[in-house]
Each structure stands twice: as C-alpha cells, then as structure tokens.
Structure 1
Amino acid sequence: MAVLTYTPWLLAITEFLILASITKSEVPAIIVFGDSSVDAGNNNVIATLLKSNFRPYGRDFAGGRPTGRFCNGRIPPDFISEAFGLKPTVPAYLDPAYNIADFATGVCFASAGTGYDNATSAVLNVIPMWKELEYYKDYQNKLRAHLGNKKANEVLREALYLVSLGTNDFLENYYTFPTRRAQFTVQQYEDFLITLSGNFLGELYGLGARKISLTGVPPMGCLPLERTTNIMGHHGCMEKYNNVALEFNGKLKTMASRLNKELHGLRLEIADAYNIFNQIIRRPSLYGFEVVEKACCGTGTFEMSYLCSDQSPFTCKDADKYVFWDSFHPTEKTNHIISNHLIPHLLEKFR
C-alpha cells in the first residue's frame, strides 16, 4: 500500500485548507505562557546563559533574523496565530522593538528553561511562571490604557491562551539534580507539578482567561541530547522518560477535566502534541525527514544555546531534512507539521 509522505506541497495544501476554513475569528489575540517551546525572545533581555538571539538561530526566519526563538524559524504560536487570521508571528513581551499596539493581537510571556517548579527556573536564572503572570498583569493594565476598559476586557476574555511547559521540570531539574529526587518519587513529582499547573491555570482564570490550550510534555526521551547520553541503550530513545511524559500528560488531562467542571465558563483543552511528535520521530521519512537521531546544529548531539555556533563546520545546510534544530528543540518544519496537526482542533474548539 502506498504511503503519502508529508512533502512541502502537502504542507502548503494543508495550511491552505486550514486558512480557508476560517470564518470571522472570535479570537482577537494569542497570549502565550511557558518555556522554550514557545518563547519568542524574552530571554534575550534577562541575565541568563540560555539565549538564542544569534545565528544560526533564526536563519530561516523572515529576513534571516535571530529573534530569541530556539529554532531556525517560526515556533508553534506563530503558526497558530496565523491560522486564526492574526499576525504570522507572536512577539515577546520584553522585546523593546514592540509596544502595546503590537501586543494587542498577540503577546508572548514565555521563558526558555522555565517550568512549573520554581526550582526549575532557578537552574539557569530564567523567568519563573509567577513572574510570567506578573508581566501579564502589567500587560493587562497597558492594554486597558490602550484600548479602553471595555474593549481590553473583551480581548482578554476572548483571547486564546497557549500554555506549554513541563519538560524542563523533568530533564533540567528532577533527573539532573538530587534535591527533588530526594523529596519525591517521579510519580509524586508528577503530582506536585500537576498541583502547580492547576494553581497556575486557576490564577490565569482569575485574571480573566477563558480559552486555554495546554500542551503537555513531548517524547522527551527521544531528544538528541538524551540519545547522546544513552550510551548503554546504543543511543536510542530513553523510553523511561517517554513513559513519564505519557503518564504526566494523562494526569494533565484528568486535571483539565476537573477544572472545566469547577471553573464556570472555562474552556481548557489539552493540545496533544506528543502523539504527532512521536509519529514524526518513529517514522521520519513519512514526513519528508532524513535525520532524526541528531540535530541540525553543530554535531547535533549536545549543542544548544551558545554551543550552537554559526561557525561550526558541522551545522547542516538544509534544516528541512532534520526533525531537530538543536539537541533540544525541533526545526521550523517540525513545528509546522505539529502545529498543523493541532490547529483544526483549536479552530473547532475556540473560534
């Protein structure tokens, strides 16, 4: 039986059908919280080593410009914003190149390296989730001054909120440092994170959010960095980590169901990126990829942030052949495929 590969022309047709299905959008803005999976450049202006505002990051972004996105191009919120008829990119709140007029239709508060656990954000001195909420409160005040209370409150109520994090809590924190492992079994730590996630979403709801898409943890055991360190497993995926991701994502779904019942008017949906990402990793050729074990940047085994250098002779020429851009983050093409998989569900639930 012939298998349809996910070629560039199929990507284009899929995107056309998604865009053609849009009627008048009831989503006036895309508002983003989370980690490097959705950070548009907030880490550029804070005192952390975890940055990506230099080439080769951004080499396939409009104008070949490194923005602070951990990718060669666009990330999922950008594609989702465009699918809802808004701008093709969602700017970072701390980026001085933008102002409240730009943020009125989309804004990103995410910070690479953060997690639900404050201890995770402390590892690389990035923005904790409570601080992302503080920036959001500041944004609310500026938006009300810009649009007036009535219009601003409508935007805040009808906006689509994208929340994506959790991976760093496990890989950067729990499995790297002994503190949390001494306090919790991994299942107990999952429950601890679920409590923190529920608290964060409850606070967001209290600030006016009603339409929320929550992305769980990807197949984190298959990230190139994890394959590199899995010497005993012949550099295959760390299935232990993937099983934790699946278990944690299942608990997120249970929590989402509970919050939808408890919080009047809340529409909280789980964006299941795990399965499509896992399919891409397990059968990359079906989606037009040639390399999945290693990333495009450098040797593709461990490079990320400042180790991902434009001077490396090993960095690939064509990122579209690679599932991963650096040892931790997908390429723009992968982001595009994952986003196109999620967008029809988001349009159905939130437009």
Structure 2
Amino acid sequence: MPLRRLDTRTLSVGRGSCPALMVVRNEALRLPFVLDYHRDLGVERFFVVDNGSTDGSLEFLLSQPDCYVFRTEESFRDANFGMDWINGLAERLPAGTWCLFIDADELLVYPHSESLKLPRFCAFLNEAGSEGLSTLMLDMYNAGPIRDAKYETGTSFLTTCPHFDRTYRERPSLVPGHEPEIVGGPRQRLFYPELARTGRLGMAMRRALRSLRLNPIGSHLGLDRTRLGAGLPPELRKVPLLKVRPGLRWIGNHLTTPFIPAPVTGILLHFKFFSDFHARAVQEAARGQHWDGAAEYARYAAIIAARPETGFFHAESETFTSSTQLVALGLMRDSLRLGRALDGMHSLRQVLFAQPRGRQAL
C-alpha cells in the first residue's frame, strides 16, 4: 500500500540541499531536538513517515513548516524494516541529490561539522567523486543507571547522555569485498558479554545460523527461532548519507548497494538509552516488528528487568566534546583534502568580510 501524504505543502527540494528521510513511531520525546539539531547542520526539508504513532508525534510533525509528512499503518517488518518506505522517499528526489537517512535518536557528526554545514560537506563529497558516507553508531549514555537518564524534550540529547565508549575496533570481514566489521561498545559489553572473546570465525558462524533460522528452510528443519544464533550484537556500521542515482539504495538499515565511499567517515551519536529505554524494549519485544524477531529487544528487556541498576559508565568512558575529539580517538577519519578545503573557505570569508584599515565596524 502506498504511503499517504498528510501535509498540504508544496513539495520542493532546493538545488544543493540535503533533505533528511525518517521513519518514526511514538517519538514525540525526541523529535523536537533531532529536527533542530539537523536544521542547524543545514537540513532544510524533512520527509517523515509516521508508522502509527499515538503519542502526538504525527500532530507535532504536521505543525512543522519544513516537514513533509507521510502516514502508514502497515507492518514495519514487512516493509523491510522501513527501508521500502525510505527508498520510496529517496526516489521522489532528483538524481544527484544527497539525502540523509536518520532515526529520531541519531545525530550526525562528521569532520568539522561544528563549522562545516551539511550542504557544503556534500559539495566536498561531490568533488571527491563520492556517493556515500559510512559511519559508526556511537552509543551515548549517562553516568548512572539507565533508568536515571531522564530526558526533557527539546533539550540537547548530550545534556542527558554525554558519555561513550572509546573501545571500538575494526576487524576484517571474512566475506571478500565487505567492509571491516566494527566490534565493541557498551551494548556488547553489558548485553552480550559472552562475545568478548568471540573471533571472526565464531561471529560468522553465529550470523550463518541466524540467517538459517530466519530462512523458511530453518522452519522446515524445526530450528528454534528464539535461540539458535540469537546471541549477536547489533550492527554498528551505518550509511546515513547517500547520493540519489538509479541503482543506489538501502538494502537494510545497515547495508546498501555498492557505492563509491567518501574519503572521510562520520559518526551517528546514538541516544537509545534514556530512562524510557526499558519500557520501549519491552514494547518492541512484544510487537516483534524488528530484525531477528526483536530478539535483541527481548534480551535488553530481560537483563534490565533482572538488574534495574544497569548502567554503562565505567573507567574507560569518554565525555563528548567535538568532532575533533572523535578523530583523535580514531573513531572517525578526517582527510587532508577536507581540512584544506575548510581552510580555503575560512580564508575566503576573511577576505570578503574584512574591515578596511582605519575604519571601524558599526
């Protein structure tokens, strides 16, 4: 069933702009800030699919002058976990447009993003011949138990959850041509501790078992869909920024068709762990609309129910300060070309806006 568009605004995307694409369900708490953050970054238009919200998210979106709002009650799972909707929105955009795919709990950071707006960053990616930006999903958390991370809507996510793990690492994939996998982080540390010593072969076997379990063949063989291969941490790599062209699309939340990668990488600051996390995990486990039959959410809910004081902060936690910090920690990659381009922009501004000698600005 096609998406129903609910707003009556004239649909327009400016040349050189970078619209954002979103699928949301009951995100009234996070929507005001996630929109404001990306507006400040340079996003001028948001294409948002509301998937049956009941908490006021839809009404809020319809009140925003820069949001094109679509509605569906269809199954998130049956729409390839929302990716059919996201690709459908991308297809409405002119070829050559860069678009940003984010969830309501994600904030995009890239090298120099504090001073380099997204349209200019995308222009740099064009100049580099790139078609997509790969990012690490960096889980953010508070200093105490997750249940104490009480977030006030409209405020910066970082006020509530400013901390993150620095102990992520890449290791080569066993699949030829695939990007290295990213391992580590607080979710693996607390929710999947048994994987701390699991190597590449062990992880590959677990993924193969999960694929078999989800395949109809697995059902015919009588494989237990709730146990076999379920112990897999969430994927931590995501491609939120893609250039629209025929044949380039998202296959899943963490996978796309082949593209020319950017010479830099980015970060998605991921704010899943506010005080509402346990209630949301219980709800999503019951709905079963997420990948792997929502086994991931069922695990979260069970562990927090057993240990209500669960929190992520530990001796090696870092406190977020800037994109420069993430580059210095090796979590994000900058490039000399981008630095030079930014220096050139600053020099041009100094020439254009310099005051003549002997005169004072009013």
Q: TM-score, normalised by structure 1?
A: 0.30
**Greater per-residue helix proportion:** 1
Question: Which of these two proteins has the greater Rg computed from alpha carbons?
Answer: 2
